[in-house]
Amino acid sequence: MTQTAEPVLIVEHLSKTYTLGDQTVRALDDVSLTVAAGEFVALVGASGSGKSTLLNLVGGIDQATAGSIRLAGHDVTKLGDWGLTELRRSAIGVVFQFFNLMPTLSVIENVTLPALLAGGDGAKAADARATELLDAVGLSARRLHKPHELSGGEMQRVAIARALMNDPAVLLCDEPTGNLDSHTGQTIIALLGDLNRRLGKTLVMATHSAEAAGAATRIVTMKDGRILTDTAATLAA
């Protein structure tokens, strides 16, 4: 019997309105999007088009005004605080523009942290997995360094390894190259593409870099809180 796996992410008629005084901003306006396991979706569009809002809603960081989000079989929009925290720990990895590493912890400790917070595996298993991930992002040699001893690109690699620590169903990246020079940004994008192809990671990445979009399997263009185009990318071999 063949089984059709449920898509990792199903967003339906999602809207988010911000009210500032007597002004309302439609940050997201009736967005529907389905992402299957193994896809690498690039969200592109001008600043203010709603990319971060969409990622923040999917990641459970912010609450929708209307619509629904189903992620890894869970109804994100119906979960309470506790359920959301659990889901964020177990099914969602996030990578931000400004890395957000813990400055007093070493590289290996930063990567291990999500596993320790989630409980479950023992410290030894967590360390083994973090070591594997540091290897996957090419940073084995920096395991005992502190974040301030690293370059921006290296810090982002640590953040990516940390985001993968609990083997999330989806990795959400918001402008992961936004704070890097273009060459370093390219290497980070190449790494994300590699994690998608080699390890089968499902990614949704907001970016306004055209090169960044080049590593994706699908490009979704946003404008004024809406999806304008949604196309499969033709990848260079």
How many CA atoms lie within 13 Å of 43's alpha carbon, on the beta-carbon side?
A: 27
Say which entry of Mg ion, ligand ADP, none residue 84 contacts (CB below 5 to 8 A, set by partner kind): none
Contact 153, 179 (CB under 8 A): no
Contact 161, 137 (CB under 8 A): yes
Say which entry of ligand ADP, Mg ion, none residue 19 contacts (CB below 5 to 8 A, set by partner kind): none
Asked if 172 is part of the footprint of ligand ADP (rule: CB under 6 A), the reply reads: no
Instruction: Tell me phi and psi for residue 135, to 5 degrees.
Output: -65, -45
DSSP-assigned beta bridge partners for residue 11: 33, 69
- The smaller minimum CB distance to Mg ion, of residues 52 and 177, is found at 52
Query: Smallest gap, in angstroms, from Cβ of residue 13 to Mg ion?
Result: 21
Asked if 50 is part of the footprint of ligand ADP (rule: CB under 6 A), the reply reads: yes
Asked if 176 is part of the footprint of ligand ADP (rule: CB under 6 A), the reply reads: no
Asked if 48 is part of the footprint of ligand ADP (rule: CB under 6 A), the reply reads: yes
Q: Which of residues 1-60 bind Mg ion (CB under 5 A)?
A: 51-52
Asked if 59 is part of the footprint of ligand ADP (rule: CB under 6 A), the reply reads: no
Contact 108, 130 (CB under 8 A): yes
Q: Please tell me whether residue 15 adopts helix, strand or coil conformation.
A: strand
CA-closest candidate to residue 209, choices 233, 232, 186, 190: 186
- The smaller minimum CB distance to ligand ADP, of residues 10 and 206, is found at 206
Residues contributing to the site for ligand ADP (CB under 6 A): 18, 20, 25, 27, 45, 47-53, 206
